[in-house]
Structure 1
C-alpha cells in the first residue's frame, strides 16, 4: 500500500514538473515582444497605424490615408509581408498613449524623435528631416521673422498644435509661456490667427506651407524669409515611426526593412512624391534614432 501511494505521488510530481516545463516554454515564446507580434501581423495580413491629420506627413483625404510618413510605413510593412495597412485617426497628443495601450501597432505621423518621447515609445530610424515654418496675419503687421521677434515683443501671441515640439522651441527661444496658446490641430491654429485670437502660428515648414495653401485665404501670410531657430535642441527635427516599448523586435524588423528601402531609393521617391525634397529632407546616413535621443544630433 505504501509502495502504491509513493508511486502515485511520484507520478503526480512528474506531471507537475512537466506542466511547469510546458508553461515556461510557452512564456518564452510569447514574451519576445515584437517578434511574436510581427508574426501575428503577418498571419493576419493587417497592421493598424495611428496618425494625426497633419499634411504632408499623415492625413486623410476623401476617406484615404495619405502622406509621406504613411507611404513610407506602408512600403515598409509591405516589405515585411503585411499588405493591408489600416489607419486610425487620433489627436496628436494621443498617439504615443495609443501605441502604448495597444490601440495601434505603430504610429506614423512624421513625429520628431526627442529624448522625452523616447521614454514612452520606441522610435524607428529617421525617415525624414525638416525645419520650422511661420504663418502670420496678412502683410505681417508685427514684423515677425523669427521666434526671437516674438520673444522681444510681449504683446505678440502665438498659437501651436498641442503636443508639438514648436511649444518647446518657442520657450527655448525666449518666448514667454503666457504668450503661447495651444489648439487641438493645425486648422484650429490657423482659425485663431484669422480671428485675431493670436498673431502667429508655427509648426514644421511643410505643415505650415501645405496648410496655408489649403486655407486659400488672403487673411494670412506665410513668412518666406523666416529665420530658423539657432542653437535650439531639436532643430532640425528627425521624423520617424514609433512603437510600443514592449515591441522592440517589431521595431527592429521595421528598421531592417526601412534600411533596404532607403538604400534602393524608395524612401527618397516617396518623400518627393509628397512634396519633400529627396535630398535635403532625407536624413543623413550618420544620424540615427539613438544619436538623436542621446543628444549627439539633437
Structure 2
C-alpha cells in the first residue's frame, strides 16, 4: 500500500518490510535503554510520564501508507505524521515508531513494549475487549488484488466462495473474518506477511486473489502490469454491509491519554487539518468519517 503523493515530486517509496522491521528493532532497543524501567511504571499516569520523558513509543506494522520507512530512511505514513502533530500538542515532543508484526501489536501494547498503537488497525468488538481506541481517523471499504482483467470475476467474498478461488490475506486482517462469514473455510485461506507479498502471490499465480482495504488495493497495484484492484465494496457479515474504521489503540487503563488524544483529533477533523495530513498518503474525502469508536466496538 504505497502512499500516493498529491505531487509526483513528493512521492516517497517504502523500503522492504525486512528493512523496516530491522530499523524498528534497533530503535526499539535504543528506546528500551533510554526508558529503562518504564514497564514497571503503573498505567493511569501515562500521559504525565510521557510528557516528562518527552517521547512516546508507537507500535506500527511496517505497512504503507500507515507507517513505514521511506526511501530516505525516515519513518513516515499517515499514522506517524498524525501522531507527530497530536502528541506534540499534548506536550510530547518525539514519536518513536517501533515496528513489529501486525498480530503482535496488541500483545506488545499490553505488555508495555510501546505506549500506543497505530497501524491502520480496524476498531472492532474483539479488539475493543483488549484495548481502548480513539475515535477513527478514517473509514474504509474492501477491495481485491486480482490478475488483470479479473478473469474469475471476483468482486465479493461470496464470489470467492462460489468460484472456489484461492484467497490470500494478511496476518490478523479483518478480511479473515469476512471470508469466514461468506462460508470460506479458514483452513483454506493463505495468510501472507503484507500486501506486497499478496501482490507477488497474485502475479505469480500462487493465489487468485488477495483481500485487503480499498486503499491497499488501489495503491499496491499502481505500477503492476499483471494485477489490478477491484472496485471498493462493503463486506457483508450476518446479512449487513460493514464499513470499517481505523484508529489509535491504547491500554485499557490509559483512558486519560486516549481522551486527550481524542480532543485533538476532533479539533483536526473539524478544521480539515486531519484530511490535509493524510491526503498525501492516498486517502480521499470518501475515507473521512464521523464514526466513533463506541459505534465500531459494538
TM-score higher than 0.5 here? yes
1:240 aligns with 247
Alpha-carbon contact 2:178-2:236 (below 8 Å) kept: no
Structure 1 residue ranges, 4+ long, deviating more than 6 angstroms after superposition: none
Q: Pick the aligned partner of 1:253 from 244, 248, 260.
A: 260
Q: Is the 8 A contact 1:146 1:226 kept in 2?
A: no
Q: Retained in 1: the 8 A contact 2:168–2:207?
A: yes
Q: Is the 8 A contact 1:151 1:176 kept in 2?
A: no
Query: Does structure 1 conserve the Cα–Cα contact (< 8 Å) formed by 2:181 and 2:237?
Result: no
Q: Please identify the structure whose Cα radius of gyration is greater.
A: 1
Q: Does 1:200 align with 2:236?
A: no
Q: State the partner residue of 1:157.
A: 166
Which one of 119, 124, 142 corresponds to residue 152 of structure 2?
142
Moved more, 136-145 or 157-166: 136-145
Q: From 87, 90, 95, give the equivalent of 2:97.
A: 87
Secondary structure at the residue paired with 1:133? strand
Write the distance in 1 (CA, Å) between the matches of 2:170 and 2:241.
17
Q: CA deviation at 1:239?
A: 0.6
Do residues 292 (structure 1) and 293 (structure 2) align?
A: no
Is the Cα–Cα contact under 8 Å of residues 162 and 183 in structure 1 kept in the other structure?
A: yes
**Equivalent residue of 1:203, what SS?**
strand
Secondary structure of the structure 2 residue equivalent to 1:253: helix
Task: Name the SS of the counterpart of 1:152 in structure 2.
Answer: helix
Which residue number in structure 1 is paired with residue 36 of structure 2?
none
Judge conservation of contact 1:45–1:83 (CA < 8 Å) in 2.
yes
User: 1-side partners of 2:86 and 2:100: how far apart?
Assistant: 22
Whole-angstrom distance in 1 between the partners of 2:49 and 2:57: 12
User: Residue 141 of structure 2 contacts residue 233 of structure 2 at CA under 8 Å; is this kept in 1?
Assistant: no
Post-superposition offset of 1:227: 4.2
For residues 100-119 of structure 1, the aligned pairs below 5 Å read: 100-119=110-129
Q: Please say if residues 91 and 185 of structure 1, whose CA atoms lie closer than 8 Å, have aligned partners that are also in contact.
A: no
Q: How does 1:201-220 map to 2 (within 5 A)?
A: 201-213=210-222, 216-220=223-227
Taking a change above 3 Å as real, the CA distance of residues 92 and 234 of structure 1, as seen in their structure-2 partners, is farther
Note the C-alpha offset of 1:263.
2.3
2:109–2:251 Cα contact (<8 Å) kept: yes
**Structure 2: unaligned runs, 5 residues or longer:** 1-40
Query: Aligned partners of 1:203 and 1:245: how far apart in 2?
Result: 28
- For the residue of structure 2 that corresponds to 1:160, the secondary structure is strand
1:43 aligned onto 2:52? yes
SS at match of 1:69: helix
Give matches, 1:5-16, under 5 Å: none
- 1:222 pairs with 2:229: yes
Q: CA RMSD in A?
A: 1.8
